[in-house]
Chain A
Amino acid sequence: MKKLSSEKLPEEIYQKSFQMIILKLQNFWSEYGCAILQPYDMEMGAGTFHPATVLRCLGSKPWNVAYVQPSRRPADSRYAEHPNRMQHYYQFQVILKPSPENIQDLYLESLKILGIDTKVNDIRFVEDDWESPTLGASGLGWEVWCNGMEVSQFTYMQQIGGIDCRPVAGEITYGLERLALYIQGKDAVKDLDWNGQTGEKALTYAEVDFEAEKQFSKFNLEVADVEILTRHFIDSETQCKQLIEANLPMPAYDYCIKASHLFNLLNSRGVISVTERASYIARVRNLAKLTCNKWLEIEGYNV
């Protein structure tokens, strides 16, 4: 006789762990034919900022990649006290250029791999047009809801750095924590099972990341030195422009990312007024535009 038990088997726990979600997504998109890239080694607000998206979505060459990107949003600092808002979190980003005919079906297939049955759960594509004023980028698409929770962002990239994208890339961004909360049936990110182990080896999300979350929250909201940040912003801007002059768009782009993050920090310190804010955004956007144009030029396109 089968033993009726509500106790979860270790295998099931293992399969639903945070890292397993990432591994499954990597496998899925690898099998589809994507190159699995690694996170970019700089602070950025979202996976979109990775040069594998910003630069490679431009131009006509096909480009199919997937990668995890740790992302930082200083203004979302909550000292690890909020159930799901954090200044540091993880995105899983997929870029398919040109966007294939069955991109939505592929995405839904990937949800099934993660154990989300689309015949039982309420999955919805809700209009959400994406725009990044700092990147001069925009796209049309949806946020994808699973039982009312936004679990992914789905975008057809129309413009980056003020340049029209042709062909158009489809961008899928999975909010990994949100997905994991749902898959593991947890209420707060801190309780997420990271590695699916029991006993000594078991690790939760909080054990891995929350000390950093507390410290960085304090840094972002209270400690970060405004003068230093302001200076570094100017330095990054100068360096970026010099690198563009030197026909080196990729290092130039690094400094554009830096400038963007420094602006985010200044913003979270609450020292930027509305008008200043607009001017900071315009300055970063200018760097992004210069970089993107230079990138296309070096790649041999007529800009």
Chain B
Amino acid sequence: MSELLIELFSEEIPAMMQSKAEIAYLNIFTKYFQEKKIGFKDIKIFVGPRRVVIYADGLDKEIKSQAISIKGPKVGSPELAIEGFCKSNNINQADLVIQEVKGTKCYFYEKEITTQKITDIFLKSLAEPIMEYVWPKSMYWSDYKIKWVRPLKNILCVFDEEIIPFKLGHLTANNSTFGHRFMSPKEILVKNFAEYKKDLKDNFVMLDRSDRIQEIEDGLKIKIDDLNKKYKSSYFRKDDPTLLEEVAGLVEWPVVLQGRIDDRFLTLPTEVLVASMRTHQKYFSVFSNPILVSLQGERKPFKAQETFFAPFFLFVNNIKSSDESIIVKGNEKVLSARLDDALYFYNQDLKTKLKEKSKKLDKVVFHAKLGSMKEKIDRLEKLVKFINPNANDIIKAASICKSDIVSEVVGEFPSLQGIMGYYYAKSEGKEESVAIAIRDHYKPQGPSDSVPSETSGLLALADKIDSLCGLMLAGEKPTGSKDPYALRRLALGIIRIILENQWVGHVNITKLVEESCKLYSEIINYSKNDQDQIILFIEERAKNYFKDKFDNSQVNASVDFKLEPSLVATKYKLQAVEEFLSADEGKDLLKYYKRVSNMIGSANINPDDKIDSKIKLLSEEKELLKYVENNDVENNSDSLMHWEYKDALKKLSPIKVILDNYFEKVMVMDKDPSIAKNRLLILAKTKRLFNRIVNFDLL
């Protein structure tokens, strides 16, 4: 069994591209070995700051000789076809043999493949899988012809300790690599993977990302433990896997250090501090829980919701320096300058009120076809009022919820929109509920984000409905995997806000969409159909959402905004249907429905038609009709509660006995067509009775 080691040594690869490349190369090389029919046991890919490493283990040394038969044209095909087949295989007609395939005689070519050495295959073709991966961004350099994520400097390729000198652009593979850029930049000659890994480590390169991440996590822990010992405190770090991955992609030899933040910056909102440190500097923040000191002087962590931002930061550098204080001091200075900036912006922002800032929103475009953010907040006010005319705080919040977009801090850190609005609202003395509504109105930002509370959810809902309706009317409906405005996420947000807050009475999706579209009527033309498309879009997303929790066909049968425009009621309905069908009685009833439905078949009958009173009915027929007429209520515009849906389904039960009698005595397809038609009509009415609740056809 053999091993193959390839190292593509390059200038610094962007940190956030590395793990994606690992996954891609694993797929590419798996496919490559399979296509070349090369057996292998394992492939490992390592992508770090300066190298892409492919290591394959348990490889064949050669591909044994074998015969393959290649099917050609039928015997008796035009000469041209036979000639063409020979030509494409580089053979003469004399080389062809005839075999029967399913009774038809065909020409075949029995191709001999001689034993191939893997090294030959590699030499000829290794460049292909390497170049197959398209980096998110790649570039040319110097006057070379190849493209790579950053300049490719060297290629190492050894197969069982033997160099495979394949060519890629201007480069030819060899057996050298290089150590850490600063600590050990020397050339290292490599024989095999085991030595390679060890040599790298000896020369200050940790090859495996997970090793680097572990090293960083350990380093962070040690520093925090040191702080806790020193200050007798309970400092901790919040999990941040994205930052961890990014930092691990920036260093070959991680060393964690700790710096201090000047106290004067601690007046900044925590989120601003974290953003300044994280976005620009890739520093880790430290937090603390308040500490209780007992009368005996004993210190205990105080369990509280609130955590404080601690005046320290942790960072990872790429060198074991003989003078760490230089590095710490340097980083502290940089952070001070950054925070000076943030403080300047923050204080600038505090000088004007949110109401005043909102005037500037007419210069901020929401969407080219949908006008400015100023127009958006005007709509939001109306929409919130429409949903709940008494929510005065939230109506107030709507008029200033987008103001922070024009603030300096959000200009610097767009991810802080909403959050800064909260702080600015508080600083000008607005009620907590108003500030929170502003802060949370972008939530939920994804399936794992939490949903805003009952009160502030109102603004979040209005904002999302307004965006969804507007963008759909502007023709931004997602197609396939393209959803540049994240409309699917918006719709899911709408669904979750309503359901998780259990909004029953006042949220009717159909009416909400109608109202929201109406608010756009001055700036965009739309038809009833456009509006229905939006409702259908939300309905589709709702089905998707419910399918995680309920049976697929029950979801398809139950979610229908035309029948039930309330999401919460739809959920009750689904629960009722699930319960109903899990019991024998429900399963039974479903069978009765199917029987009725099958009897009607494809006959085109309108259940609204009147029964022909001239025709005499059998008593079983009369009984059924009576039952249907008594229980069939015109579409109730009010949404039903859970127990009401349960009731409605339960109320169907007596029909079983009635139908038993009916089927026993009544022959639907009577010789007299008018009688047959009449009987079908009664069945159609029966069917509709079922479908008033849920689409039984789909169950």
* Residue positions of A touching B, CB distance < 8 A: 78, 82-85, 98-101, 104, 118-127, 129, 139-142, 146-149, 156, 158, 165-168, 170, 181-182, 187, 273-275
Show 24 A/B contacts (Cβ-Cβ < 8 Å), sorted by A.
A83-B336, A83-B340, A84-B337, A85-B341, A99-B142, A101-B153, A118-B182, A119-B182, A120-B319, A121-B327, A121-B330, A122-B318, A122-B321, A122-B330, A129-B137, A140-B139, A141-B150, A147-B317, A147-B330, A158-B139, A168-B140, A187-B336, A274-B363, A274-B365
* Residue positions of B touching A, CB distance < 8 A: 11-12, 14-16, 137-143, 150-151, 153, 182-183, 250-251, 281, 315, 317-319, 321-323, 326-327, 329-331, 333-337, 340-341, 344, 363-365
Structural contact, A147 and B326, CB atoms closer than 8 A: yes
Complex formed: what's the CA distance from A10 to B549 in Å? 77
Closest to B11 in A: A104
Q: Which A residues are CB-close (under 8 A) to B364?
A: 274
Complex formed: what's the CA distance from A126 to B11 in Å? 11
Main secondary structure of the interface of A (DSSP, over half): loop
B336 to chain A: closest CB distance in Å? 7
- A156 partner, pick from B12, B151, B323, B365, beta carbons under 8 A: B151
In this complex, which of A122, A141, A187, A273 has the most chain B Cβ atoms within 10 angstroms of its Cβ?
A122
Structural contact, B143 and A126, CB atoms closer than 8 A: no
- B12 partner, pick from A78, A83, A120, A127, beta carbons under 8 A: A127
Structural contact, B336 and A148, CB atoms closer than 8 A: no
Structural contact, A122 and B319, CB atoms closer than 8 A: yes
Complex formed: what's the CA distance from A78 to B337 in Å? 14
Structural contact, A149 and B341, CB atoms closer than 8 A: no
Q: Which A residues are CB-close (under 8 A) to B182?
A: 118-119, 123
Structural contact, B334 and A148, CB atoms closer than 8 A: yes
Closest to A85 in B: B341
Complex formed: what's the CA distance from A161 to B650 in Å? 74
Contact of A156 with B139 at beta-carbon distance under 8 Å, contacts A82-B341, A120-B322, A121-B321 already known: yes
- B11 partner, pick from A125, A165, A182, beta carbons under 8 A: A125
Complex formed: what's the CA distance from A170 to B139 in Å? 12
Complex formed: what's the CA distance from A156 to B151 in Å? 9
Complex formed: what's the CA distance from A187 to B334 in Å? 9
Q: Which A residues are CB-close (under 8 A) to B329?
A: 147
Contact of A147 with B327 at beta-carbon distance under 8 Å, contacts A127-B12, A167-B142 already known: yes
Q: Which B residues are CB-close (under 8 A) to A147?
A: 317, 326-327, 329-331, 334
- A100 partner, pick from B14, B142, B322, beta carbons under 8 A: B142
B243 to chain A: closest CB distance in Å? 14
Structural contact, A140 and B142, CB atoms closer than 8 A: no
B163 to chain A: closest CB distance in Å? 21
Closest to B368 in A: A275
Complex formed: what's the CA distance from A118 to B330 in Å? 14
Complex formed: what's the CA distance from A120 to B11 in Å? 21
Q: Which A residues are CB-close (under 8 A) to B318?
A: 122-124
Complex formed: what's the CA distance from A196 to B14 in Å? 39
- B142 partner, pick from A85, A101, A122, A124, beta carbons under 8 A: A101
When A and B form their complex, which 4 residue pairs have the shortest distance between CB atoms, in order from nearest?
A147-B330, A127-B14, A167-B143, A122-B317
Q: Which B residues are CB-close (under 8 A) to A129?
A: 137
Structural contact, B315 and A148, CB atoms closer than 8 A: yes
B554 to chain A: closest CB distance in Å? 48
Complex formed: what's the CA distance from A181 to B337 in Å? 12
Q: Which B residues are CB-close (under 8 A) to A168?
A: 139-143
Structural contact, A166 and B333, CB atoms closer than 8 A: no
Q: Which B residues are CB-close (under 8 A) to A121?
A: 319, 321, 326-327, 330
Closest to A125 in B: B12
Complex formed: what's the CA distance from A181 to B344 in Å? 21
Structural contact, A83 and B327, CB atoms closer than 8 A: no
Contact of A140 with B331 at beta-carbon distance under 8 Å, contacts A101-B142, A119-B182 already known: no
Complex formed: what's the CA distance from A273 to B139 in Å? 34
Closest to A273 in B: B363
In this complex, which of A129, A142, A147, A275 has the most chain B Cβ atoms within 10 angstroms of its Cβ?
A147
Q: Which B residues are CB-close (under 8 A) to A142?
A: 12
Closest to A126 in B: B250
